[in-house]
């Protein structure tokens, strides 16, 4: 009896010691916030970005961590609920004391997070193409600004190689990114002599699934004698029914090409891609790009997905543009912390200027010294029958981002760097 009591007491003492040691151990790590929707309409796109951050953290930790400390991920699920993004950001910065946050996909989620990171002087790395018209000292934008994706894609559609389009359907999910991007594109099209009567603009809510009526309107609009192209800023799981309906309606790429800005390898996973062959997407990276850095990136991701039994990816691993942007971002952040010898937000921001990283896209990725955006090449890819992309056009080299579009008159004279607050 006495022995049993002693064992019990010893077990309890060990447990207590373990508990009291936890805070000291936690101080020996650098906490990294991961703020991506793991449920709801955006989970189709965002879940894999959470896994990309975790893979990069494992890699960095295997090399000894940063400043002699291991990185400790703090993963939360804002569940495609925009106000919840702000609440989770407060929790990550205030309660969990993270040094940096990697997160968001839609601009409405980023806009929800923005006042919180600014007020609490946090740091957000945002990995997805967006509408520009924003430049915060507390955000690094590792996705594309409109001049690094939307405008080059439309220029391609207007070119002889892209089909010499004369009419355009601007089709998007109803929120700030598509509406602002389309405002920029409409102004750009006007500058190229395209009149309003040759521009159709339509929006659908998040999670929309019935595209029959819109596809019928597109068919009618494109059947009026001028070569027509569709520019899609549909986001999230709505892409699946949109592309299914496109296939059902028999709208082939040679007749009415669709170029998408939020459809990559991951979004096409659940779609029969055979009817979609030849339709387009514009990004700054495709999995199909051939170079040794990308081969290594795909190999690492495939091994990680298998080891962690990541649904879908363990059997059919895919990489995409926002994964690459996430991977570049976290590696640059680690380099900047090392350079700053600190995780202090302002010191890390200063150290981020001019950081470089060899990108899987096959170029040296550079963080602009001033405007918190990466210099990135632009690729237009055609969908292949296997759901991969064949690059049909690319810029000669990396393009510097224009956060303030010259196609919005009010932007004249705005500075190409965040305001010091």
pTM (predicted TM-score): 0.91
Separation CA 147–CA 400 (nearest Å): 8
* 419's tokens: 């305001």
User: With 60 as the cut, is the pLDDT of residue 3 above it?
Assistant: no
Confidence of residue 21 (pLDDT cuts 50, 70, 90): very low
Distance CA 264, CA 310 (A): 18
Helical H segments across 192-291, by residue range: 212-222, 239-248
The strands making up 29-35's β-sheet, listed across from edge to edge, are 70-76, 29-35, 100-103, 124-126, 139-141
For 180-237, what is each residue's pLDDT tens digit?
999 999 999 999 999 999 999 999 999 999 999 999 999 999 999 999 999 999 998 8
Q: How far apart are CA 347 and CA 103, in angstroms?
A: 21
d(CA 417, CA 370): 5
Task: Give the tens place of pLDDT for each residue, 67-124.
Answer: 999 999 999 999 999 999 999 999 999 999 999 999 999 999 999 999 999 999 999 9
Q: Which of 43, 36, 73 is nearest to 56 (CA)?
A: 73
Strand partners, 167: 228
Could you report the per-residue pLDDT of 265-303, keeping only the tens digit for each?
998 987 889 889 999 999 999 999 999 999 999 999 999
Q: Distance (Å, rounded) from C-alpha 284 to C-alpha 262?
A: 12
Per-residue pLDDT, 118: 98
Ranges of each domain in the chain: 12-144+292-306+321-375
Give the pLDDT score at 421: 66
Q: What is the pLDDT of residue 6?
A: 42
Which superfamily, per CATH, for 12-144+292-306+321-375? Response regulator (3.40.50.2300)
Task: State the number of CA atoms in the 13 A half-sphere of 371 facing the CB.
Answer: 17
Per DSSP, the residues of 242-301 read HHHHHHHTT--TTTS-EEESS--TTGGGGS--GGGTT-EEEES--TT--SHHHHHHHHHH
Whole-angstrom distance, CA of residue 232 vs CA of residue 225: 21
Residue 236's pLDDT is 85
- CA 340, 343, 346, 348 dihedral sign is positive
């Amino acid at each position: 009896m006495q022995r049993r009591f002693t064992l019990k007491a010893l077990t309890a003492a060990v447990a207590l010691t373990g508990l009291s040691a936890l805070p000291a151990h936690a101080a020996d790590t650098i906490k990294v916030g991961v703020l991506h929707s793991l449920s709801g309409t955006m989970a189709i796109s965002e879940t894999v970005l959470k896994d990309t951050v975790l893979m990069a953290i494992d890699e960095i930790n295997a090399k000894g961590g940063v400043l002699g400390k291991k990185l400790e991920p703090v993963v939360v699920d804002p569940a495609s609920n925009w106000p919840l993004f702000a609440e989770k950001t407060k929790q990550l910065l205030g309660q969990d004391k993270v040094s940096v946050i990697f997160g968001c996909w839609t601009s409405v989620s980023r806009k929800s997070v923005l006042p919180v990171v600014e007020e609490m002087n946090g740091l957000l790395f945002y990995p997805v193409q967006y509408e520009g018209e924003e430049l915060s000292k507390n955000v690094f934008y590792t996705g594309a600004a409109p001049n690094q994706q939307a405008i080059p894609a439309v220029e391609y559609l207007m070119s002889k190689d892209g089909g010499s389009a004369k009419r355009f359907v601007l089709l998007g999910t109803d929120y700030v990114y598509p509406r602002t991007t389309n405002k920029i594109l409409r102004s750009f099209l006007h500058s190229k002599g395209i009149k309003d009567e040759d521009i159709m603009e339509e929006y659908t809510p998040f999670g929309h699934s019935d595209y029959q009526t819109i596809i019928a309107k597109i068919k009618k609009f494109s059947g009026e004698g001028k070569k027509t192209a569709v520019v899609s800023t549909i986001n999230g799981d709505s892409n699946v029914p949109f592309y299914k309906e496109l296939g059902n309606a028999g709208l082939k790429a040679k007749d009415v090409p669709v170029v998408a800005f939020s459809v990559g390898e991951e979004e096409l996973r659940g779609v029969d891609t055979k009817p979609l062959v030849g339709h387009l997407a514009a990004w700054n990276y495709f999995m199909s790009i051939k170079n040794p850095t990308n081969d290594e990136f795909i190999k690492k991701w495939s091994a990680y997905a298998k080891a962690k039994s990541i649904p879908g990816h363990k059997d059919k691993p895919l990489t995409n543009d926002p994964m690459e942007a996430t991977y570049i971002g976290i590696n640059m952040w680690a380099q900047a912390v090392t350079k700053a010898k600190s995780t202090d937000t302002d010191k890390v921001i200063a150290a981020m200027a001019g950081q470089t990283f060899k990108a899987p896209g096959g170029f040296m990725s550079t963080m602009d010294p001033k405007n918190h955006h990466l210099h990135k090449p632009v690729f237009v890819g055609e969908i292949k029958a296997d759901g991969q992309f064949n690059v049909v056009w690319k810029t000669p080299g990396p393009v510097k981002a224009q956060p303030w579009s010259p196609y919005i008159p009010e932007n004249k004279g705005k500075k190409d760097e965040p305001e010091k607050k």
